[in-house]
Amino acid sequence: MQPDLTSTALDFSFYDQYYGAVPPGMRILANVSPQAHTDVGYCLAGSYLPVDEQKYVAFVKAAVGRYSGASSSAAAGLASPIKHWQVGNEPNNSQTGFADLGLLGVTSRFLTHMRGPLGSDLGN
């Protein structure tokens, strides 16, 4: 979504199509993390923590806001907004910071519009 870390621009086109293909009524668990399994320089060396926490927070706010059922979800073309998110998935034990990454994911700093324990309940 953010091909250039020196820019604040986010490209949602792939995920608009990907999540837009989810049929009405189907609920999915979406994953958010600083980078995929391949190291592309978005995380600190040997860690799950992002190289730029502020940009990661902005990315998570934008992604969750766009796909969670807020008014921007209609613009993203979603028939089924994403109500449940996980932070990271299947950590590699050779890296550090996975628990800290999870804590970033549940703080009110970027899940401010969510309701419920640890931001897990978005209603419906």
SS3 for the chain is CCCCCCCCCCCCHHHHHHHHCCCCCCCCEEEECCCCCCCCCCECCCECCECCHHHHHHHHHHHHHHHCCCCHHHHHCCCCCCCEEEECCCCCCCCECHHHHHHHHHCCCCCCCCECHHHCECCC
- Please say if the pLDDT value at position 109 is more than 80: no
CA–CA dist 106, 117 (Å, integer) = 9
* Total of domains in the chain: 1
Instruction: Quote the pLDDT of residue 6.
Output: 77
Tell me, yes or no, whether 17 lies in a domain.
no
The mean pLDDT value for 103-124 works out to 47
For the chain, how far is it from start to end, CA to CA, in angstroms?
27
| Domain of residue 115, residue span | 28-119
Tell me, yes or no, whether 98 lies in a domain.
yes
Tell me, yes or no, whether 3 lies in a domain.
no
- What digits encode the pLDDT tens for the residues 25-79? 898 888 888 877 667 788 888 888 888 888 888 888 888 888 887 655 555 678 8
Instruction: Quote the pLDDT of residue 112.
Output: 45
Tell me, yes or no, whether 57 lies in a domain.
yes
Residue scoring higher pLDDT (99 or 10): 10
Tell me, yes or no, whether 41 lies in a domain.
yes
Q: What are φ and ψ of residue 79, in 5° steps?
A: -85, -30
Tell me, yes or no, whether 97 lies in a domain.
yes
- What digits encode the pLDDT tens for the residues 78-105? 888 888 888 877 777 777 887 777 766 6
Tell me, yes or no, whether 64 lies in a domain.
yes
- Please say if the pLDDT value at position 18 is more than 80: yes
Tell me, yes or no, whether 107 lies in a domain.
yes
CA–CA dist 122, 124 (Å, integer) = 7
